């Protein structure tokens, strides 16, 4: 579900198969008088005396869009309300797939990780700038490129999550990158190398959730507890047990710092 504003109308794009479609079209027909079907579109024209009802309908519909997108854009809502007297047009889409596609290209140059948008996707660009702002990034608005200068375990997890993201808001995401190249950026930092050793100690892959790591830790701690060792193996078991404890607590601390 998506709301947009052009020079002629306020357009609400809705997948015809979605639950929102009947909800919004029924609400528009019951709320405002001059509402009619034109071909496959539901149109409403402004009528004097319905100003308050139109504003409420637009606010309610915007809130549904914001809820679906999990993002609030106060400036856009203000623009919509400023143009509340424009025709409202419900535009059905054929399926539930995102409306737009965006290609993100990942490159490492001079020890800097770059994420560049292949096309001028301003909304997604500013969204990612805001998302990663705590990582001391720089960006170039005209080139639609974000630059990461410092590799941290937290940043690595967030980049891995982004690489697995197939849809975001109303976009279908495609990612172009070389795994070895992106990986080299993160393994340059000693802290990341240390975390990599801890993950290896527990025998889990980076990027898994803390719950799975804890289960693995408990199983290893139980299997390698010194109380279970023979007398001649106590030192070996103790060393292994300490490594497991250190690895789990280091990873858990990193998760805590990232939250």
Give the pLDDT confidence of 208-231 residue by residue, as tens digits: 888 899 999 999 999 999 888 888
Query: In Å, how far are 81, 122, 230 from 12, measured between CA atoms?
Result: 14, 20, 71
What does the mean pLDDT of the chain come to? 86
pLDDT at 98 over 60: no
65 in the same domain as 108: no
What's the pLDDT score for residue 31? 92
Mean pLDDT of 183-194: 65
CB atoms within 10 A of CB 64: 17
Q: What CATH number is attached to the domain comprising 248?
A: 1.10.287.110
Q: Which residues contact 185 (CB under 8 A, 6 or more apart)?
A: 108, 111, 112, 113, 148, 151
Q: Indicate whether 231 and 164 sit together in one domain.
A: no
Cα separation of 187 and 153, whole Å? 10
Report how far residue 76's alpha carbon sits from residue 96's, in angstroms, rounded to the nearest whole number: 23
pLDDT of residue 33: 92
pLDDT band for 189, please (50, 70, 90 cuts). very low
- How far CA 25 is from CA of 54, 57, 196, in Å, comes to 14, 11, 53
What is the structure's pLDDT at 150? 84
- Neighbouring residues of 214: CB distance < 8 A, sequence distance ≥ 6: 248, 252
Distance CA 46, CA 56 (A): 13
58 & 13 share domain: yes
Helix (H, G, I), strand (E, B) or coil at 96: coil
Going by C-alpha positions, the residue among 199, 200, 7, 185 that lies closest to residue 108 is: 185
Task: Looking at the structure, tell me whether residues 40 and 55 fall in a common domain.
Answer: yes
Does residue 69 sit in the same domain as residue 118? no
* Amino acid 121: pLDDT: 80
State the pLDDT at residue 99.
59
Read off the pLDDT band of 259 (50, 70, 90). low
My answer on whether 177 and 194 are in the same domain is no
Q: Higher-confidence residue: 160 or 1?
A: 160
Residues 116 and 158 in one domain: yes
DSSP 116: E
Say if residue 13 is in the same domain as residue 44. yes
What's the domain count of the chain?
Answer: 3
Span 118-137, average pLDDT: 87
- Tell me the backbone φ, ψ of residue 141, rounded to 5 degrees: -65, -40
Domain final residue, candidates 146, 181, 216: 181
Tell me, yes or no, whether 209 and 176 share the same domain.
Answer: no
Taking 50 as the threshold, does the pLDDT of residue 240 lie above it?
yes
Alpha-carbon span 175 to 168, nearest angstrom: 13
| Residue 66 predicted with pLDDT over 60 | yes
Domain stops at, among 36, 71, 93: 93
Cβ(141)–Cβ(129) below 8 Å = no
Over range 160-181, report the average pLDDT: 85
64 close to 77: Cβ distance less than 8 angstroms: no
Q: How far apart (Å, rounded) are the C-alpha atoms in residues 154 and 170?
A: 26
Q: What is the pLDDT of residue 113?
A: 93
Q: Are residues 160 and 236 in the same domain?
A: no
CB-based contacts of 236, cutoff 8 Å, min separation 6: 229
pLDDT tens column, 151-165: 888 888 899 999 988
Q: Give CA–CA dist 237/104, Å, rounded.
A: 47
**What's residue 256's pLDDT?**
74
Task: Indicate the pTM of the whole model.
Answer: 0.43
The whole-number pLDDT of residue 18 equals 76
Does 240 or 193 have the greater pLDDT score? 240
Residue 91 has pLDDT above 80, yes or no: yes
Query: ∠106-110-113 over CA atoms, to 5°?
Result: 25
Residues 140, 203: one domain? Answer: no
Q: How many other β-carbons are positioned within 10 Å of the β-carbon of residue 113?
A: 23
What pLDDT score does 97 carry? 52
pLDDT at 20 over 90: no
Last-in-domain residue among 64, 93, 122: 93
Domain that holds residue 23: 2-93
Q: Is the pLDDT of residue 242 over 80?
A: yes
Residue 54, pLDDT above cutoff 60: yes
Q: Are residues 162 and 211 in the same domain?
A: no
């Amino acid at each position: 579900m998506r709301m947009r504003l052009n020079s002629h109308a306020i357009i609400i794009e809705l997948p015809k198969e979605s639950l929102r479609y009947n909800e919004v079209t029924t609400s528009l027909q019951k709320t405002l008088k001059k509402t009619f079907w034109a071909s496959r579109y539901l149109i409403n024209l402004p009528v004097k005396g319905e100003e308050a009802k139109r504003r409420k309908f637009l606010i309610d519909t915007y809130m549904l869009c914001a809820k679906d997108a999990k993002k609030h854009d106060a400036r856009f809502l203000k623009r919509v309300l400023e143009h509340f007297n424009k025709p409202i047009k419900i535009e059905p889409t054929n399926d539930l797939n995102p409306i737009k596609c965006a290609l993100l290209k990942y490159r490492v140059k001079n020890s800097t990780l770059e994420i560049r948008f292949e096309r001028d996707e301003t909304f997604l660009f500013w969204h990612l700038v805001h998302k990663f702002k705590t990582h001391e990034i720089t960006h170039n608005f005209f080139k639609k490129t974000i630059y990461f200068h410092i590799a941290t375990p937290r940043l690595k997890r967030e980049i891995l999550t982004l690489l697995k993201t197939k849809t975001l808001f109303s976009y279908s995401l495609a990612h172009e990158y070389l795994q070895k190249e992106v990986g080299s950026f993160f393994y340059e930092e000693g802290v990341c190398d240390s975390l990599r050793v801890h993950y290896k100690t527990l025998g889990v892959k980076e990027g898994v959730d803390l719950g799975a790591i804890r289960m693995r830790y408990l199983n290893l701690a139980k299997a390698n507890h010194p109380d279970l060792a023979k007398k001649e193996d106590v030192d070996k078991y103790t060393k292994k047990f300490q490594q497991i404890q250190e690895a789990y607590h280091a990873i858990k601390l990193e998760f805590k710092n990232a939250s």
